[in-house]
Amino acid sequence: MPALIEPTDRGLYCAAGDFYIDPWRPVERALITHAHADHARAGHGHYWAEASGVALLRHRLGANIAISGVAYGEALTFGETTVSFHPAGHVLGSSQIRVSDGHETWVASGDYKRDHDPTCADFEVVPCDTFITEATFALPVYRWAPCAEVAAEIVAWWADNAAAGRTTVVFCYSLGKAQRLLAEIGRLTSGMAYLHGALVPLTRLYREAGVEMLASCPVSECPKEHDFSQDLVLAPPSAAGSRWMRRFGEHRTGFASGWMRIRGNRRRRGYDRGFVLSDHADWPGLIDTIAATGARRVLATHGRTDVLVNFLRQRGIDAAPLATDYADGPEAAES
């Protein structure tokens, strides 16, 4: 009997339901876990995604895509399967996708994290027989401090820079991380963050979804004579070292990412500060989640699958790597 979900050259395919999950080549029916570029690609016939992520997908893939918004927990029928979306805690609208054919249940987690994030629904443990897990940070060295602590570090650094008359520039991924920072910093201080253009529409969509965040203003709307020396600026990593940075004069740069856990990554890329903050599960988060699902079988993708698979096998869990086209590594454009 074929597996309920199998890798193909177009993506993860469920033959019993005739649909794909996060396919990387054009297909008729695409169930999408979230709006990051490596999971949500253009060119599919029809899309399904959790309702709060639909506006993000339309923004990225085109206003005219055929897409159905699904509520978390709502049961859909595809062929011989029942499908439902469950919170993954990764970014707004991010989902794990549960597929059952009445005999066995699979969950494809997409990207996920276990820490609370004020910008999206908390991860839900979904019991299953086979769990497809990401493995982006599957090394024991990756352990995250609470986001509120990291936000407090950023606010303190911003105050030091402002006192010295230097602009504070924090690089972060434009979908998810930027809004999480704005939400967490907004709980600690009032004031204003200035945004690179890449962050502006996505932040607006989060506000329209009712997510409370620090007030923000596009850098492009500031008058030419605006003095940024007391200000906090958020920008995507691609803006580092670009002409766009010149307007800030004296400034300090930081990068908010799980990859900053490794000091060499910060030094190599020339940031003044690294803030360890990820929207992916850390090592304990992966291990605890896999155990909590009760899965007999684990398929690992998206990162250090080798380490995770070996660890699980040593503990008697049937584990294997699953080849996909999803991005990983510190250079991945998880934008």
Q: How far apart are CA 168 and CA 83, in angstroms?
A: 45
Beta-bridged to residue 320, according to DSSP, are 299
Beta-carbon contacts of residue 240 (< 8 Å; ≥ 6 apart): 171, 253, 255, 269, 270, 271
Q: Indicate the residue among 27 and 120 with the shorter CB distance to Zn ion.
A: 120
The three-state (H, E, C) secondary structure of 165-186, written as one string: CCEEEEECCCCCHHHHHHHHHH
Least distance in angstroms from the C-beta of 134 to Zn ion: 7
Nearer to Zn ion, 94 or 161 (CB): 94
Backbone angles phi, psi at 12, to 5 degrees: -75, 125
Select the span of 62-70, 79-87, 115-123, 324-332 touching Zn ion (CB under 5 A): 324-332
The distance of closest approach from Cβ of residue 111 to Zn ion in the complex, given in angstroms and rounded to an integer, is: 4
From the list 19-27, 35-43, 210-218, 260-268, the region that binds Zn ion by CB under 5 A is 35-43
Considering only 221-229, 246-254, 256-264, 322-330, which stretch makes contact with Zn ion by CB under 5 A?
322-330
Residue 231 or 334 having the CB closest to Zn ion? 334
Binding residues among 88-117 for Zn ion as defined by CB under 5 A? 111
Q: How far is the CB of 188 from Zn ion (least distance, A)?
A: 25
Nearer to Zn ion, 111 or 117 (CB): 111
Q: Which of 29, 36, 86, 177 binds Zn ion (CB under 5 A)?
A: 36
- C-alpha 276: how far from its chain's center? 15
326 binds Zn ion (CB under 5 A): yes
Least Å distance, CB 335 to Zn ion, is: 10
Q: How far apart are CA 93 and CA 35, in angstroms?
A: 8
Environment class of 241 (CB within 10 Å of its CB; exposed 0-12, middle 13-18, buried 19+)? exposed
Piece of 37-45, 77-85, 151-159, 230-238 that binds Zn ion (CB under 5 A) = 37-45
DSSP code, position 53: G
Q: Does 13 bind Zn ion (CB under 5 A)?
A: no
Would you say 120 or 233 has its CB closer to Zn ion?
120
Pick the piece of the chain touching Zn ion (CB under 5 A) from 31-39, 210-218, 244-252, 282-290.
31-39
Are residues 331 and 265 in contact, defined by beta-carbon separation less than 8 angstroms?
Answer: no
Minimum CB distance to Zn ion, residue 230 (Å): 33
Nearer to Zn ion, 91 or 233 (CB): 91
3-state secondary structure 110-161: CCCCCCCCCCCCCCCCCCCCEEEEEECCCCCCCCCCCHHHHHHHHHHHHHHH
For residue 184, give Cα distances in angstroms to 95, 188, 212, 257.
Answer: 22, 7, 9, 15
Shortest distance, position 163 Cβ to Zn ion, whole Å: 36
Please work out, in degrees rounded to the nearest 5, the angle formed at the alpha carbon of residue 282 by the alpha carbons of 152 and 176.
60
Footprint on this chain of Zn ion (rule: CB under 5 A) = 36, 38, 111, 326
